[in-house]
Chains A and B, each alone.
Chain A
């Protein structure tokens, strides 16, 4: 079963614009992570935010977490064509439980 659900399913923007994608989940979490997947390849870890954190930055990435709404958002600023990929949120409810992924958002950045 999938815990997280990303929104939108697909997003198309122009190079230089910001891209925002959202993730909603159902149960309490230990932490939430975002991963990126280029077409048909393995996933790459982008950023982790713990349940007691509200915002985190890494380069052009900004992640927010609202545990009261059970939701997270990933913002990519000044997008580039190379950011074209699928983005997944993943959660676990404790350190010992498996990481559960959502269905992902397909981002297309047009040069």
Chain B
């Protein structure tokens, strides 16, 4: 049990819709990273937020956007959903900008039909 919670656990959307995924970080952690994991693949880095500012972004289009709130919870928004967006979305929190040990939530399984 990492203390990182994600909601919802499962979600079904249709192509073209928009989705918001939520993450509550472990207590004391001010850095959150979002990853996309396709079936049978490793997690792919989407972006990271540190103290409410985006601090690095992977190779994802602008329709993937995020927010981090003053309490360090976070949102991932995806607009204009595509079939290939179907994946497990993982958030991970860490302390002070670091990547030395990420604490992951259980993920949101998104299916786009």
Contacts and interface: CB of A to CB of B under 8 A. Distances in A.
A96 B55 CA distance: 9
A108 to B, nearest CB: 15
* Chain A interface, DSSP helix/strand/loop, else mixed: loop
A41 B10 CA distance: 12
Interface-central residue, A31, A42, A43, A88, by most chain B CB under 10 Å = A42
Interface in A1-53: 1-2, 4, 31, 33, 35, 40-45, 48
Contacts, number: 67
Please report whether the interface of chain B is mostly helix, strand, loop or mixed according to DSSP. Answer: loop
Nearest to A102: B42
Interface string B33-59: 101000011111100100000011011
Interface stretch (B62-70, B75-83, B99-107): B99-107
- Most A CB contacts (10 A, CB to CB) among B55, B56, B99, B109 go to B99
6 contacts: A41-B107, A44-B2, A95-B100, A101-B42, A102-B42, A103-B42
